[in-house]
Amino acid sequence: MTTPALADIIFPEQANHNFSRILGGLRRSNLSITNRLRSICQDAAFVDDVAAALKLPLVANERCGSWYIDPARKAASAYFKSTDGHTGQWKFSTRRLNLHLLELIGKHDGCIIIDSTRRGKRMPDALSKTVPIWCSVLNRALFPEDPSSHRLFVPPNVVSPSEASQIEARLPDFVASFLALAIDPQPLRRQLGDRPLRPLWITQEDHLDFLDHYYSSISAAAGRSKPFPFHPVVCCTSSKRVLGVGAEIGEAGGYIQGAGDDTENWALGLTAEVFWRHKEELLAASEAELPELITQLVAAGSNADPGGKEAAGRELKRVAPGIFIGTLGARERALSDSAGPCVVTLVPRSTEQSSWVKSPTHMEVGLGKNKAASRLLRDALPQICGFVSRFLEKRLGNGAGISLEKSVIVLCESGKDLSVGVALALYCWCFDAAGNARSVDDRASFNKTAIRVKLGHIMTEMPNANPSRATLQSVNSFLMDWRK
């Protein structure tokens, strides 16, 4: 037999290039929409098992948590950011208080918060650190007489003792920032039935009867026989851990960890709601058919009215004395209100400032969409606040003692971002601490603490509000620089 030459053993450069191309193709095919949707279904089945075993309501940690929960079983949404749990950047968010969860937790003796994480991590920082910080801060603020509830509980196999110690050292400052919002603690404490919060964790690596380790009264078959001394806030990581770059290729069926994340990069406009409504149809389609099918379903979904969404879109939410928020779907109702409120509509297109004032009681502000709109809000707020101030002064001048209830209505596309920012600016600029309208000449100075207190009040009234950082930066810049 002839001894092989070196060239026969070492792959030529072209062969190496072909192998790289093939491996890249395998990775891309594994990250297909089909594999993502199938992976989501696999993880959602695990979530169903957890809910059945623990008999607690499911809460989706947005944005991606909703992908893993059948909408019929989703009790609420929450906004716990992973960035607030990043090492060295730990934070208790006064922008996303999530206080609406307390009533749900108290009523059902706990809840299960669903989230996922991408390749390699056991659980997201939102569940391993942000939620534990939230629990500890609220316990300290609501139950100051119970030091046993003040401890920071974190998953020991994810958070090191050193990091936990560093986080715990910051808790007093986080508590102070919450107390500075001047939110009455007694109603919140009553919602919890005078029992504190305690985070617990579960992943696909754990047994579903894991709570038995803590309380023998728990059984997946029998349920709870007596109340806990605390309310369990179960942090459930829906995704299965996959280790190593390219490891998904070896997973049976091309499983993708955290498949519901980064939807802007793969979903083609598909939302969790549309996915669950048409799950069987989507899973039955081939990869080649999916883009067109998704486009059709998304378009049909925007014209449909599942669950009375059209009616819900016409609803208004009171967020402060005299100030209401809603989506653009409520515009016709707001403009036809016989009480003659001042209506500010923020439309998702750019328009000239000279065209914004439509009538003495209606202003239509075109800022565009997304981050660009949030940034442009800074320059629009002087015109908006001036318009509303003149309206209020004229209304007050027409008769002493006139009610200011539903004086101002602010509408935007989502009803959660730009409208919240404008409402916050108006709450500070046009109304005093007692909710009385200021005169045009009566201007107070503002600082971040005062603005944060009023934002806390708005977030308490409207827990699903989700103003972006850019929106709030524009509000702060306007309010604190108005004299310049």
The model's pLDDT over 109-157, given as tens digits with 9 standing for 90+, comes to 999 999 998 877 889 999 999 999 999 999 999 999 999 999 999 998 8
- The owner of tokens 């000449």 is 441
Sign, CA torsion 123/125/126/132: positive
Whether residue 85 is contained in a domain is answered as yes
Report the CATH number that the domain containing residue 393 is assigned in CATH: 3.90.190.10
DSSP, collapsed to helix, strand or coil, labels residue 236 as strand
Going from the C-alpha of 160 to that of each of 76, 150, 164, 349, the distances in angstroms are: 31, 19, 6, 48
CA-to-CA distance for 385 and 382, rounded, in angstroms? 5
Residue type, 130: T
Residue ending a domain, choose from 256, 282, 304:
304
Q: Are residues 273 and 258 both part of a single domain?
A: no
- The owner of tokens 């027409």 is 398
pLDDT recorded at residue 337: 75
CA-to-CA distance for 219 and 212, rounded, in angstroms? 7
pLDDT recorded at residue 332: 87
Residue ending a domain, choose from 276, 304, 332:
304
Could you tell me where the DSSP H helices lie in 143-253?
A: 161-179, 185-191
Whether residue 26 is contained in a domain is answered as no
* pLDDT, tens only, 408-458: 999 999 999 999 999 999 999 888 766 677 766 666 678 888 898 899 889
Whether residue 293 is contained in a domain is answered as yes
Q: How many folded domains does the chain comprise?
A: 3
CA-to-CA distance for 109 and 90, rounded, in angstroms? 28
Strands 408-412 and 342-347, sheet pairing = parallel
Q: Are residues 206 and 299 both part of a single domain?
A: no
Whether residue 452 is contained in a domain is answered as yes
Q: Are residues 93 and 220 both part of a single domain?
A: yes
For residue 63, whether the previous peptide bond is cis, meaning omega lies within 30 degrees of 0, is: yes
Q: Are residues 421 and 443 both part of a single domain?
A: yes
Residue 132 near residue 168 (C-beta atoms within 8 A): no
pLDDT recorded at residue 8: 57
CA-to-CA distance for 50 and 217, rounded, in angstroms? 17
Residue 249 near residue 31 (C-beta atoms within 8 A): no
Q: Which is nearest to 470 in space by CA: 369, 347, 371, 384?
A: 371
- The owner of tokens 């299960």 is 112
CA-to-CA distance for 407 and 391, rounded, in angstroms? 9
CA-to-CA distance for 84 and 91, rounded, in angstroms? 5
Q: Are residues 52 and 168 both part of a single domain?
A: yes
pLDDT recorded at residue 446: 82
The pLDDT averaged over each successive group of 10 residues in the chain (484 residues) is: 59 52 45 90 94 94 92 93 93 91 95 89 94 97 94 93 96 95 92 94 80 47 57 94 58 77 85 92 92 90 54 77 91 81 93 94 92 92 92 68 67 93 93 71 75 89 87 93 55
Q: Are residues 137 and 283 both part of a single domain?
A: no
If one counts every other C-beta atom within 10 angstroms of the C-beta of residue 131, the result is 28
Residue 218 near residue 212 (C-beta atoms within 8 A): yes
113 has which bridge partners? 59, 235
Residue 320 near residue 431 (C-beta atoms within 8 A): yes
Q: Are residues 256 and 284 both part of a single domain?
A: no
If one counts every other C-beta atom within 10 angstroms of the C-beta of residue 8, the result is 9
If one counts every other C-beta atom within 10 angstroms of the C-beta of residue 464, the result is 14
> What tokens appear for 301 in the block?
């979904």
- The owner of tokens 């119970």 is 146
CA-to-CA distance for 287 and 290, rounded, in angstroms? 5
Q: Are residues 180 and 275 both part of a single domain?
A: no
Q: Which is nearest to 111 in space by CA: 124, 102, 98?
A: 102
| Residues near 374 by beta carbon (within 8 Å), at least 6 away in sequence | 417, 418, 421, 468, 470, 471, 473, 474
Region for residue 413 given its phi and psi (left: phi exceeds 0; alpha: psi -120 to 50; beta: otherwise): alpha
pLDDT recorded at residue 27: 45
> What tokens appear for 278 in the block?
């048409």
Whether residue 8 is contained in a domain is answered as no
pLDDT recorded at residue 438: 73
Whether residue 22 is contained in a domain is answered as no
Q: Are residues 90 and 127 both part of a single domain?
A: yes
No. of H helices and E strands in the chain? Answer: 17, 11
Q: Are residues 158 and 292 both part of a single domain?
A: no
pLDDT recorded at residue 84: 93
Q: What is the pTM of this model?
A: 0.81
pLDDT recorded at residue 212: 55
Q: Are residues 127 and 161 both part of a single domain?
A: yes
Q: Are residues 369 and 333 both part of a single domain?
A: yes
Whether residue 162 is contained in a domain is answered as yes
- The owner of tokens 């309010």 is 479
Q: Which is nearest to 59 in space by CA: 134, 121, 143?
A: 134
Whether residue 20 is contained in a domain is answered as no
Structural domain span for residue 126: 33-265
pLDDT recorded at residue 484: 42
